[in-house]
Amino acid sequence: MNKKQLEEQMIENYKREEHMMILVFAQWCINHDLDPSVLYHAAYPDQPNNAALQQALDLTVSKEEAGEVADGTVLGVLSLFGNEELAFIVTQEINKRNKRNR
């Protein structure tokens, strides 16, 4: 494998992992009756619609069909990919939910 092929493979791996991060975020939102697009736009108001998020939404399942996505998991994957703004919005939603459940 030459250098160019290795670079291309690394880019493809990153894209796959990034799509998995987006899917985890979207499913977490669905599981908690939140709209992933609304949260995304709250974090990134100047960005247009995110095509990868729209693709991930097509892959989500109802919260009844989905497995649990722990709060720590979604925050971890968002941080891993440098989505600190979105992690902040997710943290706000977690805090709201915790206050309602008290």
**pLDDT tens readout for residues 6-47:** 899 988 888 889 999 999 999 999 999 999 999 999 999 998
* Residue 49 in this model has a pLDDT that exceeds 90: no
Model-level pTM? 0.89
Tally of domains within the chain: 1
Residue 80's pLDDT is what? 92
Q: Residue 82's domain spans which residues?
A: 3-100
DSSP per-residue letters across the chain:
--HHHHHHHHHHHHHHHHHHHHHHHHHHHHHTT--HHHHHHHH-TTS---HHHHHHHHH---TTTSPP--HHHHHHHHHHTT-HHHHHHHHHHHHHHHHHT-
